[in-house]
Structure 1
Amino acid sequence: MSQSPLLSIVVAVYNGEKFLDQFFESIEQQQLNSYELILVNDGSTDGSLAVIDNWKERLQNVQLIQQTNQGVSVARNSGLAVATGKYLTFPDIDDKIYPGMYNTLLNMAETGNLDVATCNGRYVYEKRKDVHPIFPPERLASTGVIAGHIWLKQALDSRKFLHVTWLNIYRRAFIQQHAFHFEPGLRHQDIPWTTEVLLAAERVQYTSEQFYDYYIHSESVSHKPDNDDTLMRSARHYMKILEMLEAINQRYAAKAKQISACRWQIAKEGLGIIHTFDCMKDEEKKRIIINEFFDRGIWRLIWKNACTLRLRWRLGRRYFRLKPYRHA
């Protein structure tokens, strides 16, 4: 292309053979005039490459990056490093993007000189017919152009905010200015990413139009059944997330102080870690991870950020269940 595209679509691909045709069709239906599609093949072992080859000429502006399997964060970072578009987006291949999503967000971004443009979507469950909005419209209505920390406060205060990258487009110069990247090897890396991006952003706009279906299905890594080993890994991922959120709150202290929910989300995710311990069956593994939880200072971090009596009461009840495991 002779000039930089308006939008870079950065996509991590790992064993997505059964989803890629639908994904490419949804990109084609966007009818974008200026875009590049950056596919990062993260060590797929199925027929993903054959599907990509079938679509490359049809979609035209496609760049394929090959790497050994390193996870979605590294794949996104690889795509981010070579992206040239004015704006960036990071959809998942197993979800559905409705026509008009990117043109709507691009129009918002260009008109409002935005750092971040964002929209609503829907949860779609594989095993039941339940479909509902990700952000309930009665709790989060469309906005004008507002500061990122104001949107973050509104979103977190709704208690229905989902930290995701795929509902958003980002101005690439803004991302580069702050050297934002996805934390390698971290599951649910969207939580610290979204929090910091919104605390840094000066101009953000949200539309409650639903343009994206988030599929909750058995193929998703995030929704596979857990055992004690996966529960331990999950607890460690969330401990890292809480440490990152605390560091973010310190970096943006003036803004974070205006948003009590920045502290609330640390306490809430901390309660989730404790629930993970309750689900473990092996007493020795539970003892190991609970001691790590205390030794890393995660309990102190959660308690410090529990800013309501109700949260502290819930934590206090659980403390006495954890205490017997301390260096037993």
Structure 2
Amino acid sequence: MSSFVPQLSIVVAVYNGEKFLSKFFSYLQAQKLQNWELILVDDGSKDNSLKFLYEWKDKFPDVTILTQENQGVSVARNTGFNVARGKYVAFPDIDDVIDAKMYPRLLEIALADDLDIATCNGNYVYADGRPSRPIFPSSRLQTTGILTGPQWLEMALNSKKFLHVTWLNIYRREYLLAHGYYFEPGLHHQDIPWTTEVLLTAKRVKYIDERYYDYFIHSGSVSHTTPNDTIHVRTIHNYMKILEMLDAINQKHKEVTQNIDACYWQIAKEGLGIIHSIGSIQSIEVKKQMVKELFDRGIWSLIWQNAKDFRLRWRLGRRYFKLKRILNS
């Protein structure tokens, strides 16, 4: 095995992405990087994605292609991360736009300041023609100096505009390995607990208010598919798991989180999202089943215990009686 250590490993999960891959690869070609590796994980695609990967392989200096049965983006990222060699690692999505300056700029600040995590801003871009907008408004979050991870997490969560994502960041690989950080298999929106715990233990983090990534919101995106009852139930179960993971993270790192109210606030906030999803279910019987699970599984108690301010408790109190009416209907 080569002892060469790339500056950056770009790990890409691919599932039925043939319509995005040509543009995605063109964005990577535009990155002015001197030594880096590209790790492509085909997650059991049913289209021509794997064929596209091999067609592009020779157009990059250092490419590894891995294949696996379909197991979801978390497992695909883990598979790619397991073979990564770079000093830093990135996890972009194939259906988004990456500015040519993104990875050179993040590497510049990461290497200069020996960062565990370097992070930038981006844009929401809408397929339906709505104007794009920054993910983090400059009025809420501005460029920082070197912070600890908990300092940045508190600042970001307190902005009420923070988005838990991996694709705006690069991570020092040895830092992730030292803490044993991997993505939770089978969990949609796994970036929420991942980002929370990774930041709670990071020593050196820096944010730059420079927009280098366009997050494309379209109907084909898993995160933005028009919901029906089946999707609502799946979302509810995912977020129940996320709340349990966030609570476990808060307990594991209690010496840090006990001083960051926002770590508890985000559990209550995500809990309100669960309750909203329950309210959107059309089937009365399915809605009742979800309310029963909310109470029986202890999720309601978890939400209530983490709502530490009056406004949140007032909002939850109103919803409590509505939930009980559904349960008793």
TM-score of the pair, normalised by structure 1: 0.98
* Residue 186 (str. 1) matches residue 187 (str. 2): yes
Supply the distance in 2 between the matched residues of 1:303 and 1:145 (Cα, whole angstroms). 34
What letter is aligned with 2:103?
Y
Q: How far apart in 2 are the matches of 1:61 and 1:38?
A: 8
2:151 match: 150
Please give the alpha-carbon distance, in whole angstroms, between the structure 2 residues aligned to 1:87 and 1:53: 24
- Give the conservation status (yes or no) of the 8 Å contact 1:148–1:200: yes
* In structure 2, C-alpha distance between the alignment counterparts of 1:78 and 1:51, rounded to whole Å: 20
Unmatched 5+ residue regions in structure 1? none
1:86 aligned onto 2:102: no
Number of the residue aligned with 2:47: 46
Counterpart position of 1:243: 244
Query: Structure 1 runs of 4+ off > 3 angstroms?
Result: 325-328
Which residue of structure 2 aligns with residue 262 of structure 1?
263
Q: Aligned partners of 1:174, 1:326: CA distance in 2, in Å?
A: 46
More displaced, 133-142 or 45-54?
45-54
Contact 1:122–1:131 (Cα < 8 Å) also in 2: yes
1:325, CA displacement in angstroms?
A: 3.6
Pairs within 5 Å for 1:68-79? 68-79=69-80
Write the deviation string for residues 132-167 of structure 1: whole angstroms up to 9, x where unpaired. Answer: 100001110001111000000110000000000000
* CA deviation string 1:211-243 (max 9, x = no partner): 000000111011111111110110010000000
Matched position secondary structure for 2:236:
helix
Give the distance between the partners of 2:266 and 2:97, measured in 1 at CA: 28
Q: Which amino acid aligns with 1:203?
A: R
Partner residue, 2:15:
14
Are the aligned partners of 1:291 and 1:327 in contact in 2 as well (CA < 8 Å)?
A: no
Cα displacement (A) at 1:324: 2.7
Shift of 1:11: 0.4
Residue 208 of structure 2 aligns to a residue whose secondary structure is: strand
Instruction: Give the Cα separation in 1 of the matches to 2:74 and 2:141.
Output: 28
Question: Could you say which residue in structure 1 is the equivalent of 2:38?
Answer: 37
Q: Which residue of 2 aligns with 1:321?
A: 322
**Within 2, Cα distance between the matches of 1:315 and 1:182?**
30
Whole-angstrom CA distance in 2 between matches of 1:168 and 1:144 = 16
2: CA distance, partners of 1:256 / 1:95: 33
Deviation of the 1:326 alpha carbon: 3.4
RMSD: 1.0
1:225 maps to 2:226: yes
Q: CA deviation at 1:129?
A: 3.3
Tell me the TM-score normalized by structure 2.
0.98
Shift of 1:287: 1.1
Paired with 1:50 and 1:180, the residues of 2 have a C-alpha distance of: 31
Percent identical across equivalent pairs?
58
Tell me which amino acid in the other structure corresponds to 2:289: I
Deviation at 1:50, TM superposition (A): 2.0
What's the offset of the Cα at 1:107? Answer: 1.1
Q: Does 1:206 align with 2:224?
A: no
What secondary structure, in the 3-state scheme, does the structure 2 residue paired with 1:161 have? coil
Rounded to whole Å, the distance in 2 between the matches of 1:308 and 1:276 is 23
Counterparts in 2 of 1:27-176, with a 5 A limit? 27-176=28-177
Cα deviation, residue 90, structure 1: 0.2
Query: Per the alignment, in what secondary structure is the counterpart of residue 136 of structure 2?
Result: coil
Map Cα deviations across residues 163-190 of structure 1 (whole Å, 9 max, x no partner).
0000000000100000001000000000
Inter-partner Cα distance in structure 2 for 1:84 and 1:73: 19
Listed one character per residue, the Cα deviations across residues 252-279 of structure 1 (whole Å, up to 9, x for unaligned) are 1121122111111100000000000110
Kindly indicate whether the alpha-carbon contact (under 8 Å) linking 1:291 and 1:325 is maintained by their aligned counterparts in 2: no
What is the identity, as a one-letter code, of the residue corresponding to 1:281? Q
SS at match of 1:326: helix
Which whole-Å deviations, capped at 9, do the CAs of 1:259-309 have from their partners, x for residues lacking one?
111111100000000000110110111111111111110000000000111
What's 1:280 paired with? 281
Q: Which amino acid aligns with 1:214?
A: Y
Provide the rounded CA distance (Å) in 1 between the counterparts of 2:247 and 2:328.
26
Cα distance in 1, alignment partners of residues 291 and 228 from structure 2: 16
Q: Give the deviation of 1:2 after TM superposition.
A: 5.2
Please state how far the C-alpha of 1:60 moved relative to its aligned partner.
2.7
Q: Could you list the runs of 5+ residues in structure 2 that have no partner in the other structure? A: none
Aligned pair count? 328
